[in-house]
Amino acid sequence: LDVRDEFTHRTLATDVMRPRRNDPPLAVLTQDSTTVEDAEALIKDTDYSGFPVVVSRESERLIGFVQRRDLTLAIKTARQKQDGVVSSSMVYFTEDAQQLPASDPQPLKLRRILNLSPFTVTDHTPMETVVDIFRKLGLRQCLVTRSGRLLGIITKKDVLRHMAQMMNQDPESIMFN
Ligand code: ADP
């Protein structure tokens, strides 16, 4: 392999991240336009370990990452103990909940379960670098962005799957890279 060949063979974060071209879109939460009911539906309808939180579906700006188990527990606890938290209550990941009309149900503030600095890479990051970061930081997942917009997610299992594929195709490039 000459240098150029090696370069064209490079896999990038964009090639490994989910969703793939024909997959359903990334399952995300919005920072201030999700209801308790929406969040419960997301938990019921998907089995992902976590959800990126974005400013809005239009902007796709990433503000953090919430683990599925923390979200599940927080909603369950609020349903049981926080009088006034109902299906139509708004879920807020922002610092200050907006002023709501007095007639609106009590909101559920979830900023405390939000990881405000989830690890991110750009879509052009070589997978070698991504693998390195996963190893060194012991990551479970990493988000992929381009110019501040959230594009996808790579989990530890996605990385392991990618490595297994590389091993099959080209064992030397793994061992001597
Ligand atoms: P694991 O990869 O350990 O099974 P998950 O269950 O979280 O972890 O993810 C399963 C698959 O779904 C992975 O390929 C991952 O890239 C993708 N994925 C993870 N979270 C989301 C999400 N919020 N929206 C869409 N796809 C996701």
- Distance from C-alpha of 37 to C-alpha of 42, rounded to nearest angstrom: 9
pLDDT tens for each residue of 50-61:
999 999 999 999
pLDDT tens for each residue of 62-83:
999 999 999 999 999 999 998 8
Average pLDDT of 120-127?
97
Centre of ligand 1 to C-alpha 110, Å, is: 22
Of 52, 21, 177, 26, the C-alpha closest to 114 is 52
**Class of the CATH domain delimited by 3-175:** alpha beta
Centre of ligand 1 to C-alpha 99, Å, is: 35
pLDDT tens for each residue of 147-160:
999 999 999 999 99
Centre of ligand 1 to C-alpha 142, Å, is: 11
In the numeric block, which tokens belong to residue 147? Answer: 């110019």
Q: What's the whole-model pTM score?
A: 0.90
Exposure pattern of 21-33 as b/e (b: 16+ CB <10 Å)?
eeeeebbbbbbbe
Give the position, in ligand 1's atom list, of the atom nearest the Cα of 68: 7
SS3 37: helix
In the chain, what are the domain boundaries? Answer: 3-175
Of 119, 124, 130, the C-alpha closest to 166 is 130
- Distance from C-alpha of 63 to C-alpha of 56, rounded to nearest angstrom: 10
Q: What is the ipTM of this complex?
A: 0.98
**Phi, psi angles (nearest 5°) of residue 62:** -80, 130
